[in-house]
Structure 1
Amino acid sequence: MEFSYNRLWKMLIDREIKKMDLQKMSDVSGASITKMGCCENVTTDVLLRICEALDCQVEDIMERVDKK
């Protein structure tokens, strides 16, 4: 099992927010955004900051999926 951030990417598209804008809005490093793009682990602090910036819950931006 791994975490997928596809929900986050879809939300960004729906809200017309670029990854760079998310980085600035949430004060999250570009490295963390890149890790999320590769379905790698990030800290809960990163997830919290993103949720606060987007006014959403953690289940709105990620889900647990089977490894491909």
Structure 2
Amino acid sequence: MAVSYKKLFHMLIDRDISNAQLQKIAGYSANITTRLKNNTYVSLESVEKICRVLDCKVDDIVEFIPDEDQVKK
């Protein structure tokens, strides 16, 4: 199962918050920002920090996408 953070980036645009601003306020490294942009694994701790800053739920910023072979079953 793949993960997508497109919802997060749409939310940031809607709220006029830059990636750098979120990174600073939430207190995570630039490496996490890169991982988010690449839709790769980010720890639940980092996701929680983002959700606290944005006052949102995990499913507001993360989307789980089934693998193609899972969809065919």
Task: Give the TM-score, by structure 1 length.
Answer: 0.94
Superposed CA RMSD in Å reads 1.2
Which residues of structure 2 form unaligned runs of 5+? 69-73
* 1:14 matched residue in structure 2: 14
Larger helix percent:
2
SS of the counterpart of 1:64? strand
The structure with more radius of gyration: 2
- Number of corresponding residues: 68
Percent identical residues? 37
Task: Give the TM-score, by structure 2 length.
Answer: 0.88
Structure 1 consecutive aligned stretches of length 4 or more whose deviation exceeds 4 Å: none
Provide, for residues 10-58 of structure 1, a one-character-per-residue CA deviation record: whole Å limited to 9, x for no partner. 0000000000000011001110011010010011000000000110000
